[in-house]
Amino acid sequence: MAEEVLVFGTWSSPYGRRVEMALKLKGIEYKYIEEDLTNKSPSLLKYNPVHKKIPVLVHNGKPVAESLVILEYIDETWKNHPIFPKDPYERANARFWAKFIDEKCLPAIRKACWGEDQKEREKAAEELSKLLQFLENELEGKRYFGGGTIGLLDIAANMIGYWLGVFEEASGASELLTREKFPKLFNWANEFVSVSAIKESLPPRDKHVAFMRKRFGMVNTSK
Amino acid sequence: MAHEVVLLDFWPSMFGMRVRVALAEKGIKYEYKEEDLRNKSPLLLKMNPIHKKIPVLIHNGKPVCESLVIVQYIDEVWKDKNPFLPSDPYHKAHSRFWADFIEQKVYDTARKIWATKGEEQEVAKKEFIETFKILEGELGEKPFFGGETFGFVDIALITFYSWFYTYETFGNFSIEAECPKIIAWAKRCMQKESVANSLPDQKKIYEFTVWMKKYFGMD
């Protein structure tokens, strides 16, 4: 049966790119639909009426929403190149850290780069440092979060692997993820973006930096 | 294989209750350890150094944290009895989506109903009702969110039922009047021993909340 896979996303969103990374890793053909979030398409509203957000994966007409839910769906549907461990304890570990990244790291990154005043940004940067240290420890003895190959948690950490660098550059924030402070994480980020399925899924960097700078401003004065 | 299962918990926590329900559903014997959250045990701090929160499930010495992560773990380890999730990927994703919706939408709003007053409380009540009306829509005519059988989404939501009297009393509104299907569903769930034995009495939760507000000077 011919398979139809659609991905609704926006070019700069890490969440949408997570879905594309997983599909590319598994060699799944899909059609990408760019959404204008200020003018959402009838299709997006039909496929995700509850949240009206991207990303949405539509597989043979059936929609799946929420990036981490989509990643697990992709792994369970297309069994080649597994991205999720089989062992229940390792799966629980990956789910725990993915949640940690989304609920704790992402808000801290945004505040550290674009918080309202310097005090808030410094406080968020300190908080982010503590959070990144946990992830640094998690990489102990591993090339990727997934072990020897890229896994679900590496994809979920894409914000840290690539977007953080773009945000730093765009906002002028002092380097939040440095080789000195977090050698394993720094190394991981470089390895992560070198994997071809990941590299192909990243937004064009210059365009991305310019876009973020325009949208949020360069709030951090040079040190 | 011998299983040693310990649950670090706090009796009024709707998150801890989810794990209690899951363990009961699978018939798992475990040791329950009550935590005093004003004086966290060295064991809790060692087993959940990142968040320092309950619930924590300790299985053969290894900790699992975050209630819905724990519930899925329980389902995957003890997979032969009462599965919580459907077997096909699409319906599984559907269940996970709705559990995530509950995670995103219920707790913070519900907390504001008993913890705040005036305009903030009114906004919270309105959001709470909207959220539960959406959930009513998803439930439809099914006996459970899982369909014919009690499942993952039911476990994620039912534990908030023990707090309904608290929300209704502080918020001065009736959840049944706004969302009768939700109450009918909750009562159906409460007929299950695993649920009834895992949820504290609603009045006890209310008394606890009254005490907590006084203790923390939230009145």
pLDDT in tens, B156-197: 999 999 999 999 999 999 999 999 999 999 999 999 999 999
What pLDDT is recorded for position B193?
A: 98
Q: What is the DSSP string of A198-221?
A: HHTTSPPHHHHHHHHHHHH---SP
What pLDDT is recorded for position B150?
A: 98
User: Per-residue pLDDT for A223 more than 90?
Assistant: no
Reference A154, options A195, A105, A192; nearest CA is: A192
What pLDDT is recorded for position B157?
A: 98
pTM of the predicted structure, to 2 decimals: 0.96
Q: What is the ipTM of this complex?
A: 0.96
List chain B residues with CB under 8 Å of A76: 89, 92
Q: Best residue in A57, A58, A75, A89 to probe B by mutation, most B CBs within 10 Å?
A: A89
What pLDDT is recorded for position B43?
A: 98
Rounded CA separation A146/A153 (Å): 6
Q: How far is CA A154 from CA A84, A99, A116, in A?
A: 10, 13, 30
What pLDDT is recorded for position A218?
A: 77
Residue in A65, A70, A134 nearest the CB of B50: A134
Please report, to the nearest 10 degrees, the dihedral formed by the alpha carbons of residues A100, A103, A104, A109 taken in order.
Answer: 120
Q: Which residues have a Cβ under 8 Å from the Cβ of A41 and sit 6 or more positions away?
A: A8, A33, A35
Q: Give the A window 20-79 contacts with B, CB below 8 Å.
A: 50-51, 59, 62, 64-66, 68-70, 72-73, 76-77
Q: Which residues have a Cβ under 8 Å from the Cβ of B121 and sit 6 or more positions away?
A: B112, B113, B170, B171
DSSP run (H or E) holding B79: none
Residue B101, chain A, CB below 8 Å: the answer is yes
What pLDDT is recorded for position B1?
A: 65
What pLDDT is recorded for position A217?
A: 79
Amino acid at A16: G
Residue A102, chain B, CB below 8 Å: the answer is no
pLDDT in tens, B21-39: 999 999 999 999 999 999 9
**C-alpha distance from B114 to closest chain A C-alpha (Å):** 24
pLDDT in tens, B91-123: 999 999 999 999 999 999 999 999 999 999 999
Confidence class for position A215, pLDDT limits 50, 70, 90 = confident
List chain A residues with CB under 8 Å of B134: 50
Rounded CA separation B194/B205 (Å): 19
Q: Do A89 and B101 touch (CB under 8 A)?
A: no
**Closest chain B CA to residue A76:** B89
What pLDDT is recorded for position B218?
A: 87
Per cent of chain B over pLDDT 90 is 97
Q: Which of A81-90, A132-141, A168-177, B69-78 has the lowest mean pLDDT?
A: A168-177
Reference B64, options B121, B5, B12; nearest CA is: B5
What pLDDT is recorded for position B219?
A: 78
Sheet holding A31-34, edge to edge: A31-34, A5-9, A56-59, A62-65
Q: Do B64 and A96 touch (CB under 8 A)?
A: yes
Per cent of chain B over pLDDT 70 is 100
Phi-psi region of A61 (alpha: psi -120 to 50; beta: other; left: phi over 0): left
Average pLDDT over residues A96-102: 97
Q: Do B90 and A91 touch (CB under 8 A)?
A: no
Average pLDDT over residues A74-97: 97
Q: Do B89 and A76 touch (CB under 8 A)?
A: yes
Alpha-helix runs per DSSP H in chain B: 14-25, 42-47, 67-77, 89-105, 107-115, 118-139, 152-158, 164-171, 175-178, 180-190, 193-196, 202-215
User: Per-residue pLDDT for B202 more than 60?
Assistant: yes
Q: Do A70 and B93 touch (CB under 8 A)?
A: yes
Q: Do A69 and B100 touch (CB under 8 A)?
A: yes
Residue A169, chain B, CB below 8 Å: the answer is no
What pLDDT is recorded for position A193?
A: 96
Q: Do B69 and A99 touch (CB under 8 A)?
A: yes
DSSP run (H or E) holding A87: none
Average pLDDT over residues B43-68: 98
Q: Best residue in B64, B106, B134 to probe A by mutation, most A CBs within 10 Å?
A: B64
pLDDT in tens, A6-34: 999 999 999 999 999 999 999 999 999 99
Rounded CA separation B62/B6 (Å): 10
User: Per-residue pLDDT for A1 more than 60?
Assistant: no
Rounded CA separation A151/A145 (Å): 7
